[in-house]
Chain A
Amino acid sequence: MAQSIFDGTIPDGEYEYKVFKISQNKYILIAFDIKKILKQLKDLNIDIKFIDRIYTAQSEFLKDEISFKIDEEFGLVSVEGVLVKMPVKLFTTDVDIDRILLDKKLSSNYIYSGSLQKTDLKQKDFKLLLFLLLLINIFLVSSAIIVKKEIYNVNLKKEDFVDKNSLPATVLQIKSMEEELKAIDNIQSAIRKGIDYLAQFKLLKDEYFVMLRYDGKKLLYKIKFKERKRQRKFKSYLSKYKNSIVEIGEAK
């Protein structure tokens, strides 16, 4: 709609439009080609990055009954609130723009803001950062939930294992009971090995078994051997199993 208002009144170009409220039910519509403005500023060797804001003379001198020179040939004159470009020859007073601008307080009706451009750029970066942070948060939260669930599963597995095998709940208790059984295993295995050997040892004629006794501490053998050599053979073989419980006694 803004474009149609200016249709035929301004030269062709890529215009942007802005509306400023100037009083109750009164608005001002401005058409401007910001690219062209910035290009002209650039042509005047003004670095764009040092420009904070750009205002239109129309919006800034709206309420002032004023006329001033903008160069040697032309000036602007306020006619019922509308600034008109006129040759300076028609001016009755001779006021320079620099003097006018000295006391001028600028409104909030700017058409371009350098800081806004920068902020816009920053905002894009911030939005990207925000998105990345959101993704990181989602990743962290979901990972934490997964890990917590894994912990729960491991604990569940342990409970099942304990229930299934009627076990005590801690490793310490298991260790203690295992140690007890290991001690039994060592002694009982030694007894069995000793007895097995005796059963396998072939006695010669005139040799006979006299006694085998285990009193809870020692395993005592008594065998009548024909020769000392045979007794030594038996002893040397048993020395393989010789732990604290095996002992060979003299047979009479």
Chain B
Amino acid sequence: MSLFRYISILIFTAFITGGYLFYFEQEYRQTSEYFKEFKQKSENYLFLKKKWASKEHKEKILKSIKRRFKPSVYKKEENHVVIEFENLNERSFKKVGDMFLNNGFVINNLDIKRQGEALFFHIEVKI
């Protein structure tokens, strides 16, 4: 085979390989950027998920509330729990309130009313 033919083949191969390299580099850039965006969004999502949607932890807290504060109403549905306390003193109210507020419960409904010296506390939280 003549040198010309070898050169032609190599030039052709270089063009094809160069084209592929360019295409792969574009693909790599896009894949990396996509992964970066994916990771960032996922981390935000995971943070919020941990904050608001960790079911196991919430169920433990609810059990603890039920055991320690003995609510007058405790109604557990598929996606939410309704809890009511009658005549809750300020100290207990503060404790139970903190447990709901600091453990990522999504409050659907809330009603706190004065009952003489004590409080009526109704809460519906998502689980």
Contact = CB atoms under 8 A, between A and B. Distances in A.
Interface of A: 123, 126-127, 129-130, 133-134, 136-137, 140-141, 143-144, 147-148, 150-151, 154-155, 157-158, 161, 165, 167, 171, 174-175, 177-178, 181-182, 184-185, 188, 191-192, 195-196, 199, 208-216, 219
16 contacts: A126-B3, A130-B3, A136-B14, A147-B25, A151-B31, A154-B32, A154-B35, A174-B41, A184-B52, A191-B107, A195-B101, A208-B114, A210-B114, A214-B107, A214-B109, A219-B110
A177 B10 CA distance: 52
Q: Is the interface of A mostly helix, strand, loop or mixed?
A: helix
Closest 7 CB pairs of A and B: A181-B48, A133-B10, A214-B110, A140-B17, A147-B24, A178-B45, A212-B112
A134 B9 CA distance: 10
Nearest to B111: A213
Contacts of B59: none
Contact of A210 (B27, B28, B46, B113): B113
Contacts of B112: 209, 211-213
Contact of A150 (B28, B45, B110): B28
A188 B107 contact: yes
A178 B48 contact: yes
Contacts of A196: 101
A216 B108 contact: yes
Interface string B80-109: 000000000000001001000100001111
A177 B45 contact: yes
A167 B101 contact: no
Nearest to B47: A181
Contacts of A148: 24
B39 interface: yes
Nearest to B46: A165
Contacts of A144: 17, 20-21, 24
B120 to A, nearest CB: 9
Contacts of A211: 111-114
A177 B48 CA distance: 10
Contact of B31 (A130, A155, A188): A155
B115 to A, nearest CB: 11
Contacts of B44: 178
Contact of B42 (A134, A154, A161): A161
Nearest to A192: B101
B127 to A, nearest CB: 13
B65 to A, nearest CB: 17
A126 B28 CA distance: 35
Given A126-B3, A130-B6, A141 B17 contact: yes
